[in-house]
Amino acid sequence: MVKCPRCGYDNLSSSAYCENCSYILNGSPTGQRGNGWKMGTAKKIALIIGIIAIALVLFSVIYTFSQPSHEESLNVVVADNNIQKGSSHPYEVKVKYDEDWYFKGGDPSYPQEKHGHGHEIIKLDVAAWDKVQVLVERYDGSSENMVIQLLRNGEVVAENSTTSNQVTLSYQS
């Protein structure tokens, strides 16, 4: 007779399980006693670190693919809940002058500068909701008309021209 260590029931010596509570008596049906994982502490720590590393990699992949693109992050929701599509460079300045000129413009706190010659379009690094200021100066003493246009997503939103040495433009959407 084999006494069950869990409930104390006397079982036949040939029983693999307790007839009262189904506890494994003399090992599993294959004859081995089930003591759980036989693994050293170092292996357990390595397994836990591996699981954490895999979880971090999965989290970073999910986070990366769930973020909006640069262009999507520049979209603006207005008061009537419509989405105004932005772009990575919604503003451009078109300089119309045949000679040498100097440009300074964009966000007044972080202006861009450029020297150019002839007609040119300059992309501004400002968001659709930023204030835009533009200054274009000519390098020669010409009295030819100098024109600057501010374009937003390809459409002219402001324009100014002059025959003097500089022309300025300021715009707030």
Q: What are the pLDDT digits (tens) for 1-42?
A: 889 999 999 988 888 889 999 899 876 555 445 555 567 888
Residue 63 inside a domain? The answer is: no
| Length in residues, the chain | 173
- Per-residue confidence (pLDDT) for residue 31, from 0 to 100: 47
- Tally of structural domains, the chain: 2
Q: What are the pLDDT digits (tens) for 82-117?
A: 555 555 568 899 999 988 999 999 888 888 999 999
% pLDDT > 90, the chain = 34
| Cα–Cα distance list, 14 to 19, 27, 35, 157 (Å) | 11, 11, 20, 94
Residue 113 inside a domain? The answer is: yes
Quickly list DSSP for the chain. Answer: -EE-TTT--EE-TT-SB-TTT--BSSSSTTS----S----HHHHHHHHHHHHHHHHHHHHHHHHHHSPPTTGGG-EE-TTS-EE---SS-EEEEEE-SSEEEEEEESTTS-EEEEEESSEEEE----TTSEEEEEEEESS-----EEEEEEETTEEEEEEEESSSEEEEEEE-
Q: Could you tell me which residues come within 8 angstroms of residue 173 by beta carbon, excluding any fewer than 6 positions away?
A: 128, 129, 152, 157
> Distance between CA atoms of 94 and 129, rounded to whole angstroms?
20
- Please classify residue 59 by burial: count the beta carbons closer than 10 Å to its beta carbon, then call 0-12 exposed, 13-18 middle and 19+ buried: exposed
Same domain, 166 and 92: yes
Residue 47 inside a domain? The answer is: no
Whole-model pTM: value is 0.49
Same domain, 96 and 30: no
Secondary structure of 73-102 in HEC code, one letter for each residue? HHCEECCCCCEECCCCCCEEEEEECCCEEE
Residue 49 inside a domain? The answer is: no
Residue 26 inside a domain? The answer is: yes
Domain span holding position 132: 88-172
